[in-house]
């Protein structure tokens, strides 16, 4: 489970007598710190270097809420991601939660290529991929080799679909790049 907390490093006082506020991110017992643009002075902190200025606390809470909203679409994939990848994902300035909606792109691509004889296979592959993820919104950044191997395993009962659907998903992924 991913957790966030605003924190100060007491040994990192700047020359102007301020401290940078960091957001501590903990995931799977690993910790990373994300620097913010906020700074506090001695009067903004308690003797134990905890933030007491309510305006700063509110800004940190809003930032943490933003980070949580940003990683929310990752759902269970978050558990398989290395902490450094998650931090990079959080820090990326993209407003669209990290990239292109693969399913949205794929459905649009299918509707613009009705002339293909096997378009129904593409649509079935997309539907199976959504079933595998248990959601309709999948980012292109989530389509990885590891994900595709898991998808292939998910289809192991249906031998023909296993190769057909994975090849269609790969083709759709290549179309977006």
Indicate whether 97 belongs to any domain: no
pLDDT for the residue 96: 45
Judgement on whether residues 11 and 85 belong to the same structural domain of the protein:
yes
Question: Which residues, in sequence order, are bridge partners of residue 31?
Answer: 26
Residue 120, Cβ neighbours under 10 Å: how many? 10
Judgement on whether residues 7 and 82 belong to the same structural domain of the protein:
yes
Buried b (16+ CB within 10 A) or exposed e, 48-72: eeebeeeebeebbeebbeebeebbe
Indicate whether 65 belongs to any domain: yes
Domain of residue 147: give its range: 102-176
pTM comes to 0.51
Chunk the chain into consecutive blocks of 10 residues (it has 177) and report each block's average pLDDT, rounded to whole numbers. 88 90 90 91 89 89 88 72 80 58 89 92 93 86 88 92 92 82
pLDDT for the residue 91: 80
Indicate whether 31 belongs to any domain: yes
Last residue of a domain, one of 52, 70, 91: 91
Total structural domains within the chain: 2
Judgement on whether residues 124 and 150 belong to the same structural domain of the protein:
yes
Residues with Cβ < 8 Å from 112, sequence gap 6 or more?
none
Own/partner pairs for 160-165, CB < 8 Å, 24+ apart?
A: 161/124, 161/128, 164/121, 164/125, 165/121, 165/124, 165/125, 165/128, 165/129
**Structure-block tokens of residue 176:** 């977006």
Judgement on whether residues 77 and 129 belong to the same structural domain of the protein:
no
Last residue of a domain, one of 64, 91, 118: 91
């Amino acid at each position: 489970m991913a957790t966030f907390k605003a924190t100060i490093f007491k040994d990192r006082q700047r020359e102007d007598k301020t401290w940078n506020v960091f957001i501590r991110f903990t995931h799977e017992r690993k910790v990373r710190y994300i620097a913010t643009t906020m700074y506090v002075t001695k009067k903004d902190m308690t003797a134990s270097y905890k933030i007491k200025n309510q305006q700063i606390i509110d800004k940190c809470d809003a930032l943490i809420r933003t980070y949580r909203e940003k990683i929310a679409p990752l759902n269970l994939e978050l558990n398989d991601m290395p902490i450094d990848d998650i931090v990079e994902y959080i820090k990326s300035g993209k407003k669209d939660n990290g990239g292109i909606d693969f399913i949205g792109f794929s459905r649009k691509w299918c509707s613009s290529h009705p002339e293909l004889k096997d378009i129904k296979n593409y649509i079935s592959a997309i539907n199976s991929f959504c079933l595998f993820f248990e959601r309709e919104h999948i980012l292109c950044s989530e389509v990885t080799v590891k994900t595709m191997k898991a998808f292939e395993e998910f289809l192991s009962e249906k031998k023909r679909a296993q190769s057909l659907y994975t090849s269609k998903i790969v083709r759709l992924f290549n179309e977006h790049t």
